[in-house]
Chains A and B, each alone.
Chain A
Amino acid sequence: MPQTFAPRHAGTLATSVLILGAAVVLPQTLGLFTLLQLTVYAVMAILALSLSITWGLGGVLCFGQAAFFGLGGYTYAVAVTNFGESTLPILLAVLVQALVALCLGWFMFMGRLSDLYVGVVTLCTSLILFNFANSTSDPWYRIGSAALNGFNGMPAIRGINIPFLPGALLSPVQSFVLTMLALLAVYLLCKTIAGSSWGRVVAATRQNPLRAELMGYDTARVKLGIFVIGSAVAGFAGCLFVNWNGFVSPDVFGLSMSAQIMIWMIVGGRETFVGPIVGAFALQALVSRLGVGSEINANVVLGGLLMIFVVLVPRGILPTVRDGLLSLGRKWGPGKTREVN
């Protein structure tokens, strides 16, 4: 059976072609409204992938992925309000999060905190940010010309423009294409990391940190590296989210935000990269469907799904379906079985 996350080039190629195809074809065939919805789903898929890097690939249990997503959004919002141009703010959204993760990760991993404590610290971090962001309604809290505006959030934030052409704001359709391309890029980044030599070291650290140490690998540093990359991607997703929404409020730091990301990942399948993408799209669509003329509370559905999947389908939809197909294939197809003793 193939090792999880190992690059299977055919699958990677198929997924890439699918995403790219969607970016090119859908604007020609779908309505603006559907495109706008797909844009935000794709943003969330990028966010799901960021946790895939941190948790799925790196085994770092981050309960506060929303912290980096939200900070990315705020960084972009503050920077673009001040600069009036989006190129540098996008870079900042990524870099600042990498830096924040570096500091936080240094503190956690060099202190050799166990998984559970990493979970607590990241959770605390997002709660602190949530509380802090909520308490900035005093006009005193402003960075340059951007007021943070507390609980109400920052409204009317400039979208992304063509690099260095402040006048050329992206249209919603162009934003859709950009977001899909970003999703493709992040997906390929994940695949590249997983397939690289360092990616193998990361996988080794996740599976058995003691053995990795005994091979001479500095597991703290490996975890730190993967944490920084995952957080930077989450920051990038935050910036794309603000581009879509034109708005950012402390909600982005909320517990339910972090919970959502984990639910997408678990339902889709945390051992793969396509799984979280599928999970993000499917569950987002489900939640927005529930809001139109339904009496069922979205929390009941999300919470129920999470419990069912953790207990009954712990690997998530995609790996389960894939393995099911593979075993069917072994049973009926010409492929030879391989049992090892």
Chain B
Amino acid sequence: MLNTENLVVRFGGVFALGGVDFAMTKGEVHCLVGPNGAGKSTFFKVVTGQIAPTSGRVSLGGSDITGEGSAQIVRRGIGIKMQTPQLFDDMTVEDTIWLGAYRGRGKAHARRRTAELLDELRLGEVARAEVGKLAHGLRQRVEIASVLAGDPELILLDEPAAGMSDADVDFLAALILRLRGQHSFLVVEHDMRFIRMIADRVTVFHNGKIFLEGRSDAVLSDQGVKDIYLGKGKAHA
């Protein structure tokens, strides 16, 4: 459903992405891994409409979405969660989720969906608390709830497990597995334990290109992939 063709991003003289052909199919949980600077974050930003590619094409379900802004991409049925939580600190949890559900669907739907999600993500107790006053793990959960509220077909998550406790990570993994039938997931992640729990397929980025792509267990046990991570350690030594 999400495809890129020969995606190139150049900052000044530096290639951040050097021709990426990527494809994922509906219903799968797909993880992007790779050392820092491998290009996965840049890739994520292009796909979510935050930066325009220098050349190449991004398409969703066959239609070209290259160069569209985030809001337009979201309206096409993509949910996005960035690495740093993007929340409304002065708003209540309830209102935040409501806002995610309200767009294009009206108040009645938003009310119903908010109630469902508060329940599903076990946020009922803090429903009327201000988001800015919550602990980090809860904030991550609120943001995911607000993303789910828009009922996207495809959900893009940038390091959702970062800074979470093990219990929070387990909760999130369970949630993703539970939702896998209804949504597809593209997840940028470092936490290998988390990836092992959720991923169907994994794509490894290295030096702005795709190094390896395949089923989760096969990719994660590949010697070349391990070398990249080690090599990165060497390069910085």
A touches B in complex, CB < 8 A: yes
List A293-341 residues whose CB lies under 8 Å from chain B: 338, 340-341
List A82-105 residues whose CB lies under 8 Å from chain B: none
Task: Tell yes or no: B130 within 8 A of A by CB.
Answer: yes
25 contacts between A and B (CB under 8 A): A3-B90, A3-B95, A4-B90, A197-B110, A200-B91, A201-B102, A203-B91, A204-B88, A204-B91, A204-B99, A208-B87, A208-B89, A210-B86, A211-B86, A211-B143, A211-B146, A214-B71, A214-B147, A215-B99, A216-B71, A216-B103, A216-B150, A217-B99, A217-B103, A218-B71
Q: What chain B residues lie within 8 Å of A204 (beta carbons)?
A: 88, 91, 99
Query: Residues 270-290 of chain A: 1 if any B CB is under 8 Å from the residue's CB, otherwise 0?
Result: 000000000000000000000
List B45-87 residues whose CB lies under 8 Å from chain A: 48, 69-71, 74-75, 80-82, 86-87
B69 close to A1 (CB less than 8 A): no
B124 to chain A, nearest CB (A): 13
Q: What chain A residues lie within 8 Å of B126 (beta carbons)?
A: 340
Task: Tell yes or no: B92 within 8 A of A by CB.
Answer: yes
B186 to chain A, nearest CB (A): 15
**B residues neighboring A (CB under 8 Å):** 48, 69-71, 74-75, 80-82, 86-92, 95, 98-100, 102-104, 107, 110, 126, 129-130, 133-135, 143, 146-147, 150
A214 close to B99 (CB less than 8 A): no
Task: Tell yes or no: A207 within 8 A of B by CB.
Answer: yes
Main secondary structure of the interface of B (DSSP, over half): mixed
Contact among A211, A218, A338, A341 for B88, CB-based, below 8 A: A211
B177 to chain A, nearest CB (A): 24
Assuming the contacts A3-B95, A3-B130, asked whether A197 and B90 have C-beta atoms less than 8 A apart, the reply is no
Contact among A216, A219, A338 for B75, CB-based, below 8 A: A216
Q: What chain A residues lie within 8 Å of B74 (beta carbons)?
A: 213-216
Contact among A200, A210, A341 for B99, CB-based, below 8 A: A200
Q: What chain A residues lie within 8 Å of B95 (beta carbons)?
A: 3, 200
- Known A-B contacts: A200-B95, A211-B88, A340-B133. Give 9 more (CB < 8 A): A3-B92, A207-B90, A208-B86, A211-B146, A214-B70, A214-B81, A216-B150, A217-B103, A219-B71
Contact among B89, B133, B150 for A215, CB-based, below 8 A: B150
Contact among B81, B89, B104, B147 for A207, CB-based, below 8 A: B89
Which residue in chain B gives the minimum CB-CB distance to A221? B71
A207 close to B75 (CB less than 8 A): no
List A1-47 residues whose CB lies under 8 Å from chain B: 1, 3-4
Q: What chain A residues lie within 8 Å of B80 (beta carbons)?
A: 214
Which residue in chain A gives the minimum CB-CB distance to B77? A216
Assuming the contacts A213-B74, A216-B103, A217-B103, asked whether A1 and B130 have C-beta atoms less than 8 A apart, the reply is yes
Which residue in chain A gives the minimum CB-CB distance to B74? A216
Q: What chain A residues lie within 8 Å of B103 (beta carbons)?
A: 201, 215-217
Q: Which 7 A-B pairs have the closest CB atoms?
A: A216-B74, A211-B86, A340-B129, A207-B88, A213-B70, A213-B71, A216-B75
A214 close to B104 (CB less than 8 A): no
A174 to chain B, nearest CB (A): 41
B134 close to A340 (CB less than 8 A): yes
Which residue in chain A gives the minimum CB-CB distance to B84? A210
